[in-house]
Amino acid sequence: MTTRSAAISGIGYATPRHKVTNAMLSEFMDTSDQWIQERTGIKERRWARCGFEALGETSNLEMALVAARAALQNAGTAPQELDAIIYATITPDRELPGNAARLGVELGARADIPAYEVRNHCSGFLYGLQIGNALISAARCERVLVVGMELQSTGLNLCTAGRNTAVLFGDGGGAVVLQARSTPGILRIKLASDGRYAEKLGLEAPGFKRGYYLKTEDFCGEQPGVSPRMEGKLIFKMASLRMPQVVRTVLGECGFSIEDLSIIIPHQANQRILDMLSHELEGRVEIFSNIASYGNTTAGSIPLALAEAVAQGKVKPGQLVCLTSFGAGFSWGAALCRW
């Protein structure tokens, strides 16, 4: 019997260069800087495109390449040393196939490695970590690249009718290199979901539930099927319940308490949810937030926040760090790591 653990050995991130402020959004829709900040905590976000204007970066894959190369360099790992690629996104460059296999080609990774296409929304990066952790712990792999990246600006409805979602989402994400080691790195990952709420947050069309993929009717009506739906109050309530709960669970299962944690890196959905997370944990641990600068980058938000926290010196070797998420599905989870 052998003992192995997966640990994050390198991290990188990428976002479009262009900042879109709340004031800029008020040119497209009936909103204001105050309205957005009060409800979300977001001041600006990075977008690859604003309305009809392309602002530079054009694809999810291009950003993933930047983040992946930075993570590989940070880890001192060559692309050919990777044993698997895991790519979490809901905004791939193409519906089929996804970006993972192409990322390997662009990076110069070996062709004989698996390339996982993960579609778990806001929890996608944690699912990616779970896959990488399993592959390394079971000695299937030595080094795994996990990417969480989104390009959402091209799909947003910038009219007033779409403001409840358009102001929230941003582009960007990050990547980590997971590496096998004999001392503890990732200590515990707990993932959970409750499909009874599948219709409360997401996008109905195009989808395969109704006997067809897409119909003209999907584009019609006040709430067309191709427009995202989001029951904000319910999401806030459930996220405020589930995130602190799952953080406590992973800590408890590893014999730790909140006081042992140095920092929590949560999915950046809304500052009010992060404030509630802090409140539920009685303010006993720092909750990292960069949502004011990037908005909600779905599967990209945790690696992007983690990369910034590391760069700011808020995550140091030996510290106990917890990553946590909540999103569509509903799905939620937490990963406890010894940095």
Partner 1 sequence: MQTTSGQTYVSKICLADSCLGEFHSKASTAAISCAGSCWRVHPQYAPSDVGLSAALQCLEQNSILPDQVDFVISCSATPDFNNPGLVSCLLAKLGAPEIGGLELKNLGAAPAYALDLAAAMVRSGQASMVLVSCVDLLARYFAAFDGVMGPGALNARSLWGDGGAACLVSAQPFKHSTAMTIGRSAFMACAPEMPALRCDRPSACAFPSRLTVDDFQAGRHLPVVELQELRAELRNGAAQLKLKLTEFAPRQLVSNGLIPGMLESLGADCECHDCFERYGYCGSAGPLIALGESLDSASVFEATVILGFAGGSNWGMVEIGPAQGVGR
Which positions are annotated as active-site residues? 122, 267, 296
The CA distance from 253 to 151, in Å, is 36
Closest CA to 250 of 127, 137, 164, 334: 334
* C-beta of 189 vs 261, nearer to partner 1: 189
Among the candidate windows 147-155, 256-264, 285-293, 314-322, which touches partner 1 by CB under 8 A? Answer: 147-155
Cβ atoms within 10 A of the Cβ of 243, count? 27
Closest CA to 306 of 271, 245, 263, 275: 263
CB of 38 vs partner 1, minimal distance in Å: 28
> Can residue 164 be called a binding residue for partner 1 (CB under 8 A)?
no
* C-beta of 64 vs 309, nearer to partner 1: 64
> Can residue 299 be called a binding residue for partner 1 (CB under 8 A)?
no
* C-beta of 35 vs 236, nearer to partner 1: 236
> Can residue 208 be called a binding residue for partner 1 (CB under 8 A)?
yes
* C-beta of 29 vs 134, nearer to partner 1: 134
Among the candidate windows 21-29, 66-74, 208-216, 303-311, which touches partner 1 by CB under 8 A? Answer: 208-216
Q: Which residue has the tokens 């699912």?
A: 127
Residues of span 167-196 touching partner 1 by CB under 8 A: 184, 187, 189-196
Closest CA to 270 of 247, 246, 238: 238
> Can residue 203 be called a binding residue for partner 1 (CB under 8 A)?
yes
> Can residue 198 be called a binding residue for partner 1 (CB under 8 A)?
yes
CB of 97 vs partner 1, minimal distance in Å: 6
Residue 198 CB-half CA count within 13 A: 5
> Can residue 323 be called a binding residue for partner 1 (CB under 8 A)?
no
CB of 313 vs partner 1, minimal distance in Å: 27
Pairing of strands 19-21, 44-46: antiparallel
Q: At what angle do helices 271-280 and 232-253 cross, to 10 degrees?
A: 40
DSSP string, 222-274: SS-TTS-EE-HHHHHHHHHHHHHHHHHHHHHHTT--GGG-SEEEE--S-HHHH
> Can residue 222 be called a binding residue for partner 1 (CB under 8 A)?
no
CB of 334 vs partner 1, minimal distance in Å: 11
The CA distance from 264 to 262, in Å, is 7
> Can residue 49 be called a binding residue for partner 1 (CB under 8 A)?
yes
CB of 96 vs partner 1, minimal distance in Å: 4
Closest CA to 273 of 217, 330, 311, 211: 330
The CA distance from 37 to 272, in Å, is 10
Per rule CB under 8 A, count of chain residues that contact partner 1: 89
Among the candidate windows 214-222, 257-265, 299-307, 314-322, which touches partner 1 by CB under 8 A? Answer: 214-222
Q: Which helix (H) or strand (E) holds 172?
A: strand 172-181
Residues of span 84-143 touching partner 1 by CB under 8 A: 85, 90-98, 100-102, 104-105, 111-121, 127, 130-131, 133-135, 137-140
> Can residue 162 be called a binding residue for partner 1 (CB under 8 A)?
no
**Angle ∠(161,230,276) on CA atoms, nearest 5:** 120
CB of 325 vs partner 1, minimal distance in Å: 12
**Which residues, listed in sequence order, are joined to residue 250 by a DSSP beta bridge?**
none
> Can residue 275 be called a binding residue for partner 1 (CB under 8 A)?
no
